[in-house]
Amino acid sequence: MSEPDSAAQVATEAATEIADDLLPPLADLSRARILVTNDDGINAPGLALLTRLAESLSDDVWVVAPETEQSGTGHSLSLHDPLRFREIEPRRFAVAGTPTDCVLLAVHKLIEGRRPDLVLSGVNRGANLGDDITYSGTVAAAMEGTLLGVRSIALSQIFRYPEPPPFETAEAHGPDLVRRLCAQSWPRNVLVNVNFPNCPPEAVSGLKVTRQGRRKIGEGITERTDPRGRPYVWIGPQRSGERHGDDSDLGVIGRGMISVTPLCVDLTHRATLGRLAEVLDDPAPEAPPGAKP
């Protein structure tokens, strides 16, 4: 058996690979082509806000968003039904599909000429923090953009129901943050998840780059019976407690700060990869006794 790579060596090689594969800065956003999408639907206030934000940065803005609400669809594609779309006005389309469908269709079909330089997804009505991002259509749209080689940012505005979202906070702080993010070199397999706190713009206490937090989520199931006596259920996440540190997205938002979290589409756990390689890798494993040749 050959000598396996150590966990440290695997991690070092991964860091080198990322450093060698960076998207260059978008120094002049006024010349950028920007794709705007979301998961709340084509008529969502957050999409209108994000469109205004994008148009304050560039004149070349395309909007491709779901026809209807798609929250919680995650990174899903419509593979079993035809995908229909309509042009509402020049460079503005509604798609009868998921946020991932929208980005894929925009890049490969709807946007004429060159590909977008930037994907902006949101502004989501509600948080995308911690475990939420695994369900989020907003984050998934940015993930699809990243997989297609486009720098991508997901933006969400936190609020507490029944009060309306303070979208003015995202509108006030979003443009400068997008400019600052785009001025940086960017690994091709990374997207950025931004959450704005539930407070007025002037009450924001700062900005912090964070890690993804973790909170205990129990799937709540509410049972009902329809007028014909047939049972049905509503499902939805129930937060039964939070586990996070001060450097997590959850911890930072709790202090009234803007959270900026880099996320990687490569889900490989590098340390475990190295440890498992040490005990499992075998270039020529022997067949178990009694196995047929």
Compute how many other C-beta atoms are within 10 angstroms of the C-beta atom of residue 293.
3
Looking at the DSSP bridge assignments, the partners of residue 196 are 157
Amino acid identity of residue 174, one-letter, is G
Question: Cβ atoms within 10 A of the Cβ of 239, count?
Answer: 13
The answer to whether 198 is annotated as binding is no
Q: Flag whether 132 is marked binding.
A: no
Distance CA 233, CA 244 (A): 31
Q: How far apart are CA 270 and CA 280, in angstroms?
A: 15
- Sign of the Cα torsion 93, 141, 259, 62 reads negative
CA 285 to chain centre: 40
205 is in an annotated binding site: no
Nearest to 275 by CA among 7, 10, 4: 7
User: Which of helix, strand or coil describes residue 204?
Assistant: coil
168: left (phi over 0), alpha (psi -120 to 50) or beta: alpha
- To the question of whether residue 71 is assigned a binding role by annotation, the answer is yes
Annotated binding-site residue numbers: 39-40, 71, 124
Annotated binding-site residue numbers for a divalent metal cation: 39-40, 71, 124
